């Protein structure tokens, strides 16, 4: 690549850096939402790291303007733009100094930009799910659009300014497209970080590990609780449930309790609220009572705020209870991905009514 083409290449690259950075960033956000979450939020996890992205943008812009300084001086309008851009960059760095930012901050920028995504990926990969085929097709689609658009644009530039020269080969257009794709993904994270700093709703939302842990805690506690209810049901014992949102409790006994002697009065010294169908025909009633018990206890999904336990799976953040047979219940918990459970277990009756 001769010097003339190098000037064209870098001139176009830096000249359209900011505009195309934003446009391609929005496009990549719309088409590769999960890719951005996994690979480009590593160095944006705290407010301080937000400065890294602004600093890197201003440093890149300043470098671009410096590379094009001779070209910009040919027009007074372009000189004004240069002055404004440099002034903003200086104001930004002065603001950092006035806020007591350590000088080592500038040396940390390349480190976090280079390695931040690695830390982030290792930290949250276990909670991220994305379709590999969808990801690959999206990348091919975006690159194809970029290459087609850029090649036409570069051909137009060459036609206007280098009519007697050999056209730029498609290879360099591909290289340029890949660079712009990388910049686009980075700028998507920039948009999200701006939203984060201004305390508005995030454009890109990381899977909240705390919600996953809350869901896992709920399902593990439910397994132990459900085991007790199943065993009581199997041997015909009465059991206590919370009957309303005020915390009021009631006792439920088997329909044949008067014959077996296992009544609420005998066990808890209180009258029964209602009865359940004795084993093995009352599994659905048992699960209904169990779900009502936890709903009245205000056990809610950390994702939707709706009741945590259900019998029919419809949305994220649910724990689904499904009878397997007359002695076992399937307990399945779903986090953000409604098609991939984060927890699944079969709870089986351990005792047999004599």
pLDDT (tens digit, 9 = 90+) per residue, 109-137?
555 555 554 554 455 455 555 556 666 66
- Say whether pLDDT at 5 is over 60: no
DSSP code, position 277: P
Nearest to 179 by CA among 143, 132, 204, 148: 143
Q: Which two tokens stand for residue 277?
A: 């169908």
Residue for token digits 């041997």?
Answer: 235
Answer whether 234's CB lies under 8 Å from 352's CB.
Answer: yes
Answer whether 60's CB lies under 8 Å from 10's CB.
Answer: no
Residue 251: predicted pLDDT: 93
In a domain, 203, yes or no: no
- Say whether pLDDT at 48 is over 60: no
> How many separate domains does the chain show?
2
Q: Which two tokens stand for residue 309?
A: 């336990």
Are both 216 and 183 inside the same structural domain?
Answer: no
Residue 42: predicted pLDDT: 39
Nearest to 294 by CA among 318, 259, 322, 262: 318
Are both 216 and 185 inside the same structural domain?
Answer: no
CA 345, CA 333: separation in Å to the nearest integer? 9
Residue for token digits 């982030």?
Answer: 120
pTM listed for this prediction: 0.43
Find how far residue 252's CA is from the centre of its chain: 43
Q: Helices 170-197 & 132-161, crossing angle to 10 degrees?
A: 120
Q: What are phi and psi of 113, to 5 degrees?
A: -65, -35
How sure is the predictor about 147, in pLDDT bands with cuts at 50, 70 and 90? low
Are both 120 and 140 inside the same structural domain?
Answer: yes
What is the rounded average pLDDT for all residues in the chain?
Answer: 67
- Say whether pLDDT at 313 is over 70: yes
Question: pLDDT digits over 175-218, tens only?
Answer: 666 666 666 565 555 555 555 444 444 433 444 567 777 787 87
In a domain, 204, yes or no: no
Are both 253 and 285 inside the same structural domain?
Answer: yes
Write out the residue range of the structural domain in which residue 138 sits: 3-197
Are both 332 and 257 inside the same structural domain?
Answer: yes
Question: pLDDT digits over 240-287, tens only?
Answer: 999 888 889 999 999 998 889 999 999 999 999 989 998 888 898 999
In a domain, 15, yes or no: yes
Residue 264: predicted pLDDT: 93
Are both 104 and 233 inside the same structural domain?
Answer: no
Are both 248 and 279 inside the same structural domain?
Answer: yes
CA 126, CA 141: separation in Å to the nearest integer? 27
Nearest to 118 by CA among 195, 22, 38, 56: 38
How sure is the predictor about 59, in pLDDT bands with cuts at 50, 70 and 90? low
- Provide mean pLDDT across the span 308-319: 88
Residue 25: predicted pLDDT: 45
């Amino acid at each position: 690549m001769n010097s003339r083409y190098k000037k064209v290449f870098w001139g176009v690259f830096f000249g359209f850096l900011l505009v195309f950075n934003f446009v391609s960033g929005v496009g990549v956000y719309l088409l590769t939402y999960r890719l951005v979450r996994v690979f480009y939020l590593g160095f944006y996890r705290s407010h301080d790291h937000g400065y890294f992205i602004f600093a890197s943008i201003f440093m890149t812009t300043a470098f671009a303007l410096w590379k094009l300084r001779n070209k910009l001086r040919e027009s007074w309008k372009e000189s004004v733009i240069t002055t404004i851009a440099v002034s903003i960059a200086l104001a930004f760095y002065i603001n950092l100094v006035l806020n007591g930012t350590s000088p080592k901050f500038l040396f940390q920028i390349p480190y976090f930009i280079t390695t931040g995504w690695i830390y982030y990926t290792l930290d949250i990969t276990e909670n991220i799910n994305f379709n590999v085929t969808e990801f690959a097709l999206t990348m091919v689609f975006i690159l194809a659009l970029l290459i087609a658009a850029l090649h036409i644009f570069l051909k137009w530039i060459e036609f206007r300014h280098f009519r007697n020269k050999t056209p730029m080969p498609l290879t360099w257009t591909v290289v340029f497209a890949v660079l712009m794709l990388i910049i686009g993904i980075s700028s998507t994270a920039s948009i999200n970080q701006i939203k984060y700093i201004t305390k508005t709703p995030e454009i890109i939302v990381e899977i909240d590990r705390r919600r996953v842990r809350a869901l896992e805690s709920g399902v593990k506690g439910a397994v132990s609780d459900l085991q007790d209810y199943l065993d009581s049901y199997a041997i015909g014992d009465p059991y206590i449930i919370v009957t309303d949102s005020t915390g009021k409790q009631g006792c439920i006994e088997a329909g044949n309790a008067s014959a077996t002697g296992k009544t609420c009065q005998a066990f808890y010294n209180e009258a029964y609220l209602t009865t359940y169908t004795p084993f093995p025909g009352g599994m659905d009633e048992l699960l209904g009572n169990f779900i009502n018990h936890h709903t009245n206890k205000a056990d809610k999904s950390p994702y939707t705020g709706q009741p945590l336990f259900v019998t029919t799976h419809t949305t994220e953040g649910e724990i689904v209870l499904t009878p397997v047979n007359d002695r076992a219940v399937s307990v399945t918990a779903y986090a953000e991905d409604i098609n991939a459970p984060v927890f699944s277990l079969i709870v089986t009756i351990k005792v047999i009514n004599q």
